[in-house]
Every structure is written in structure tokens, then in C-alpha cells.
Structure 1
Amino acid sequence: MRISTQAFYGQSLYGIGSQQQQLFRIQQQLSAGTKFLTPADDPVGAARALRVGDSLAQSAQYTTSRGRATLALSQEEEALKSATNILQNMKTMVVQAGNGTLSDADRASLATAIQSSLEQLVNVANADDGNGQFLFAGYKSANPPFVMSGGGVQYMGDQGQRLMQIDVARQMSVADDGRSVFQSVQGGAGYVSSASAANTGSGVFGAVGVTDATAPLYGKDFTISFAGGNYTVSTNDTPPVVAATGPYVEGTPISFGGVQLSMSGTPADGDSFQVATAKNAGTDIFASIGELVSALRQPVAGGGDAAQARLKNALATANVKITNAHDNVLTIRSSVGSRMNEIDALDEAGASRDLIDKAYLSDIQDLDPAAAISQFMQLKTSLEATMGTFAQLNGIALMNYVR
């Protein structure tokens, strides 16, 4: 078969060009460190790599979100820690105020100290994240949630929960609203007793004890009224239901609605006492502290047993309310800690998932340098041989053999 010169040149150049193209492609792969330079090189592998890459990018975003959530929760935890310390210090001062050796001036000094602690607590409740966003304001985070006005503290925020997407199927609250923290009590909080401001006798209530939580009237709010040496316990319903009646005997517990209350002193006719569930007895810790300050500033000297009774009852009520508020803050603080632990667990799971995805992505697209270099050398040797052969064949001519 005869081969024309044109065909010889064309075929030879095509072969050399094809080998050069393959060699150039291997060079590009070695430079990029990937098996395919365009999706067309491996459509299936490119699609898989794209999916894995998207998964890694999404995981990185969740990691960033978890970092922000951890920062927000850490700031809230610090604020709650400060609130816990302030409330604990207030409980100590309430106990100190009950010391019978204190004078009116001593109690006034304690009232000033407690008022200062109240202002500190308001400042803690108005803590921000350093960027002008208030921690306990709910959705209204641009403005301070608590405002002192008219001798009281008003909540100006809302009860919105600021949620953050921290994983594929997990949204987490990164802040608690101020009403839930400072103006609420836990569901397990017991009864709170208080005395009417109009009482003139020396009756002092003790702690409320639960005797039968299954009693029909258990969980109701009660009023204990005194007249003619007898007591009457009625619910605060409309119309009221009489829960118990009987002669008052100092030190003998009064039982009603599944609870009992011991009393000392001598209540006067018309005196009354409230025994209410914690959620109905006033859950605003700021208001409770304000009432305590007012009670401590009222003179006791010269007021007789009635004045002493008013002070003791006010301190007992304040102690229970501050304890309930303290327990509520501790519970929310525990919730914050649990959320931070969950974030740590999600971080560990996310890191493990990223390692798996990165290994899979490497298998899909990363080039094996040793194999690629070996292939490069083979193609280079083949190209050199082809070019050498072409040069030798190109030099053959009939006239070289004519003598």
C-alpha cells in the first residue's frame, strides 16, 4: 500500500498533537492537584464533588452560627451569674434584717443597701452584648428592657425568642426574655404567705407545709380572716368557698386545702392573711424588693407588737419571693448551660462529619501525584519516541540510495 507524503505528514502530526494534548492535560492536572479540570472530564464525579462541597459549605455556616450562639449564651450566662450573686446577697440581708437587736437606723441602712442591690439587678437585667443589643429584651433588643419609673420597674421588652439555626434540623434560643427571667417563678414553687397592710394585731405566720397535694382545694389561693377569736379560711374564688373554720390557738397549725400554716401572736379582729400560689402572689422580683425596702424603712420602735409583727411578716414574704426568684434564675442558668453543652456536642458531630465528607471529596477529585507523574513520564517518553521516529522517517528519500 502506497502512502502519500501528505497523508504521512497529516497522520504523523495528528499523532504528535494528540500526545502533546494528553501530556499538557496531565501537566494541568498536576498543577491543579485534581483529577478533572472541567465537569465535562467526569460529569458524575463533578456532580458528587459539588454535592459534597455544598455539604461542607453548609456545615461551615452552621459552625459559624454555633460560634455566635455560644457567644450569646456565654454573655447571658455571665449576666445570670451576676443576678444570682445579687439575689443571694439580698437573701443574706433579709435574714440580717430579722435580727431583733437592730435599730430603726440599722434597718434603714440595710434598706439603702438593698435598694442599691436592686439598682444593680436592674443594670444586670439591662445588660447588652457589646453591640447595642440587649440580652433580655426579646425581639425589642434595640432598647433597654427594664425602665425604672414612678418608684417601680417596668418591662418594656416582649417575650419573643431569638432563634438561631445551629444545625440541619435544630434551631436554638440564644436569649431568654426578661419577663421569664426576672418576673416569673418555676411551676414547682410553693405557696407564699403575706399579711394585710391593715392588720393591727401581733399575728405572725410561719412556713406553709403541704399535707395533701390531692386535696380538692389544693392549688387554690386562700384568705385567712380573724374575728372573735376564731379564724375562717376561704378561697379567693367568686363566690368564695370556705375551706376551714375554728378557734384560733397560738402555735396550733391551721389546716386547709391540703396545706397547713402555723401562726404565733394574737391577730386582732379584722386581721387577714393571704396564702397564695407563687404565680399569683406576685412574681415581679423588682416589685418584691421595692416592697421590702419600704417595709425596712418604716419605724418599728414605739409601735409595739403590731409593728414587730408587720416587719416579721414582711421579711418572711420577701424571703420566700426572693428565694423563688433566685431559684428561677438558677433554673434558666442551668438551661443556658444545657444549651451550651448541646452546642459542644453538635460541634463534635459536625467536625466528625466534615472529616468524612473531606475524605470522600478527596477520593472523588484529588489527584494521586505518584500515578500522575508516572503517567506523565510515560506520555513524555512516548511523545519523544514518536517525534524521533517521525524525524527518521521524514529523512528517508530514494535519492539517498542512488550512487
Structure 2
Amino acid sequence: MRISTQSFYDQNVLAMGQQQQKLFKVQQQLATNSKFLSAGDDPVGAARALGVSQTLSEISQYATSRQRASLSLSNEENALDSVTSILQNIKTLTVQAGGAALSDADRASIATAIQSSYDQLVGIANSTDSNGQYLFAGFKSGTPPFVAAAGGSLQYVGDQGQRLMQVDVARQMPTSDDGRTVFQSVQGSAGYVASGAPANTGTGVFGSVSATDATAPNYGKDFTISFTATDYTVMTKDTPPVVAATGTFSPDTPISFGGVQVKITGKPAAGDSFDVSTAKNAGTDVFAAIGELVSALRTPLTGGGAAAQAKLQNALSTANVKVTNAHDNVLTVLSSVGSRQAEIDSLDSGGADRKLQEESYLSSIEDLDPYTAISEFYQRQSSLQATQMTFARLNSISLFNYL
């Protein structure tokens, strides 16, 4: 069979071109450290690699979300730490204000200190994060959550929404708490709060309210204790009210009703009354409680006698219980924030493990075995060189060389 010169050249050039392409492909694989340069090289492997890459991208997005969530929770934690310190200071000043040796001027000075703490508390309640978003406004994070209302009271104008963030595949985490939950709520475990009526004229002073029988028929209801010259009547605040207890008043004998009891010392005047309500119905707004405390401390006792002193002691006791309940509530919210931060740390640890596993799997799919690739490179390089040398030798063969 005769082979033309043109066919000889074409076949050899084609063979060398193919070998050069294979050599170049190995060089690219070595340069990119990848088994395949396009999906066509390994369709199955490319599809698996794409799926793993998408998973890694999701893991990275969740990690970024957790960082943002952690920052938001850290901002709230710092704010709540300050709130607990302020409330603890107010409790200390409230106890101090009950000293019998204090003058009106002394109590006014304490009231000024408490007012300063109140202003700090309002500032924290209206604090913002680094993006200018109000921490305790719920979904209405673009406007201050607490504003002054008519009469000087503080009104919450935010909502009770919790901003959620997707921090893992199946976990949406609240990264904020609204102002009503933090500053205008009490825990369900908070007990009763007692207070004296503003119109009281006697010297009756109530003590702490203690639970005696949680299974009593009227337990958990709100009550009013009313006095005549010698007797008392305890009525529920139901509609219509129900008589819970009656008796002759004795300052040495606790008054028992509805599974609770309270001891009232001094001598209540006829027409005096005391309110004993559950914490959630006695007023849960810490700002209102502090405002009432400041007003009581700024009311002079000079000339008021024992009745004015009794009214002050009752006001201090009520304020102390309410501030304590608010303090406990903030501590509970703070504990919740800490739990969420701990969960983020756990999710971060799990995310890092998953990322390592997926990266290892992706490496097994994509990464090139350098030893095999280098061996193949030298093999193809040698083959190409041999083909080139053979072609050159055959190309130089001529009958004239043998004449």
C-alpha cells in the first residue's frame, strides 16, 4: 500500500497535535490542582462538586448570619447589664430612703439621685445599635420606642415583634427583645404587690405578702382590704366582688385571705384601704413605679405626723417590690440572651465541622493527585518528544541519501 507524502505529514501532525493537547491539559490540571477543567471532562464529578460548593456557600452564609446575630445579642446584653446595675442602685437608694432619721431635704436628695437613674434607664431603653436601629423597639426599629406622654409619663410606642435571623438550616433565632417585654413586664412567678390607698389617713403600714395555700379558692385573684374603726373586710376585685375574709383588726395578727396573708401594723383609720394584687395586675411598668417613688420622696413629711410617715413607708415598700420584680424580669431576659449566644457558639462549632467535612469531600472530588499528574506529565512529554524525533528522522529519509 502506498502512502502519499501529504498523508504522511497530516497523520504525524495530527498525532503530535493530539499529544500536545493532552500534555497541555495535564499542565493546566497541575496549575489549577483540579482533576477536571470543565464539566465535560467529568460530568458526574462536576455535578457533585457543584452541589458541595453550594452547600459550602450556604454554610458560609449561615456563619455570616450568626456573626450578625451575635453582634445584635451582644449589644442587647451590654444594655441589659447596665439596666440591672441601675435597678440595683435604685433598690439600694429605696431602702436608704426609709431611714427614720432622714429629713425632707435628705429624701429630696435621694429622689434626685433616683431621677438621674431614671433618666439613664430611659436613655438605655431608647439606645441604638451601630446601624442606628433602636434595640428595644420591636419591628419599629426606626423610631424611639419610649416617648414622653401627657402628664410626664413614659409611653411605649414600639411593638412586640422579635427580629428573627436564619442562623442555621432549621433555626431562626430572635436577635432582639421588645421594650414592653423588658421594661413593662414581670415574670409569672412574681408574687403579690401591696399598696396603700392615696386617701389613707391612718398609720397602718403593711408588711410583705406571703403565700400560704396556692390551692385556696381565691388564690391568684386581686383583693382590697377595707377598714372600719375596729374591723376589716377583704373583697375580691371580681365583678361583682366577693367577700374573701372579715374580722376584727389586731396589729399583731396577720390578715389571711385567698391563700395569702399580710401583716398590717399601726392603726388604720376608718375608711382606709389597702390593695393586694398580683404583680401582673399591680402595674408592671418600671418607669411608672420609679416615677411614683420619686414623687413620694419629694413629698414633705413635715407637719404630716405619723400618718404621713406611714404613707411614705407604704410607698417605699410598694416601689421596692415593683422594682425588684422588674429587676428579676430583666435578669430573666438577660439569661435568655446568654442562652441564645451559647446556642450561636454551638452552631458555629457545628458549622465549622460541617464545613471541614464538605471541604474534604470537595477535595476528594476535585483535587488532583500531584504524584500521578506529574508522572503523566513526564510520560506525555517523553511520548511527544519521541514522536517529534521520529517524524523528523522519517522526514529526512531519501533514496538520494543512499546513492
TM-score, normalised via structure 1 length: 0.98
Aligned partner of 1:124 in structure 2 is: 124
Q: Name the aligned partner's letter for residue 42 of structure 1.
A: D
How far off its partner does 1:168 sit?
0.8
Query: Alpha-carbon deviations, 1:15-39, whole Å to 9, x = none?
Result: 1111111001111111222111111
Q: Name the aligned partner's letter for residue 305 of structure 1.
A: A
Distance 1:9 1:116 in 2: 99
Aligned partner of 1:138 in structure 2 is: 138
Aligned partner of 1:210 in structure 2 is: 211
How far off its partner does 1:12 sit?
1.8
Distance 2:147 2:114 in 1: 18
Aligned partner of 2:194 in structure 1 is: 193
2:247 is aligned with 1:246: yes
Specify the SS of the correspondent of 1:194. Answer: strand
How far off its partner does 1:397 sit?
2.7
Specify the SS of the correspondent of 1:260. Answer: strand
How far off its partner does 1:157 sit?
1.0
Aligned partner of 2:365 in structure 1 is: 364
Aligned partner of 1:267 in structure 2 is: 268
Aligned partner of 2:29 in structure 1 is: 29
Aligned partner of 1:19 in structure 2 is: 19
How far off its partner does 1:385 sit?
0.7
Query: Alpha-carbon deviations, 1:363-400, whole Å to 9, x = none?
Result: 11111222211111000001111111122222223343
How far off its partner does 1:103 sit?
0.7
Aligned partner of 1:87 in structure 2 is: 87
Aligned partner of 1:375 in structure 2 is: 376
Aligned partner of 2:402 in structure 1 is: 401
Distance 1:24 1:109 in 2: 88
How far off its partner does 1:3 sit?
3.1
2:290 is aligned with 1:286: no
Specify the SS of the correspondent of 2:280. Answer: helix
Specify the SS of the correspondent of 1:218. Answer: coil
Distance 1:102 1:257 in 2: 37
Distance 1:114 1:333 in 2: 23
Distance 1:7 1:106 in 2: 116
How far off its partner does 1:109 sit?
0.9
Q: RMSD in angstroms over aligned alpha carbons?
A: 1.1
Query: Alpha-carbon deviations, 1:165-203, whole Å to 9, x = none?
Result: 111111111111001000000111000000100111111
Match runs of 1:46-65 below 5 Å: 46-65=46-65
Which deviates more, 9-18 or 209-218?
9-18
Distance 2:134 2:145 in 1: 7
Distance 2:192 2:298 in 1: 26
Specify the SS of the correspondent of 1:306. Answer: helix
How far off its partner does 1:228 sit?
3.3
Aligned partner of 1:98 in structure 2 is: 98
Aligned partner of 1:115 in structure 2 is: 115
Distance 1:400 1:66 in 2: 81
Specify the SS of the correspondent of 1:367. Answer: coil
Distance 2:212 2:268 in 1: 24
Distance 2:326 2:252 in 1: 29
Query: Alpha-carbon deviations, 1:279-327, whole Å to 9, x = none?
Result: 0000000001111111111111221221111001000000000000000
Gaps of 5+ in 2: none
Which deviates more, 8-17 or 135-144?
8-17
Distance 2:4 2:152 in 1: 111
Query: Alpha-carbon deviations, 1:122-144, whole Å to 9, x = none?
Result: 00111110321110011111111
Aligned partner of 1:349 in structure 2 is: 350
Aligned partner of 1:231 in structure 2 is: 232
Distance 1:115 1:18 in 2: 88
Aligned partner of 2:68 in structure 1 is: 68
Distance 1:164 1:219 in 2: 38
Gaps of 5+ in 1: none
Q: Name the aligned partner's letter for residue 226 of structure 1.
A: F
Query: Alpha-carbon deviations, 1:137-166, whole Å to 9, x = none?
Result: 111111111113432111121111111111
Specify the SS of the correspondent of 1:14. Answer: helix
How far off its partner does 1:343 sit?
0.5
Distance 2:20 2:152 in 1: 89
2:395 is aligned with 1:386: no
Aligned partner of 1:166 in structure 2 is: 167
Distance 1:65 1:344 in 2: 12
Q: Name the aligned partner's letter for residue 53 of structure 2.
A: G
Specify the SS of the correspondent of 1:243. Answer: strand
Distance 1:12 1:289 in 2: 98
How far off its partner does 1:9 sit?
2.3
Specify the SS of the correspondent of 1:274. Answer: strand
Q: Name the aligned partner's letter for residue 24 of structure 2.
A: F
Q: Name the aligned partner's letter for residue 115 of structure 1.
A: Q
Aligned partner of 2:304 in structure 1 is: 303
Distance 2:26 2:265 in 1: 97
Distance 1:362 1:109 in 2: 71
Distance 2:207 2:322 in 1: 15
Aligned partner of 2:313 in structure 1 is: 312
Aligned partner of 2:154 in structure 1 is: 153
How far off its partner does 1:350 sit?
0.5
Distance 2:389 2:131 in 1: 73
Aligned partner of 2:331 in structure 1 is: 330
Distance 2:387 2:54 in 1: 45
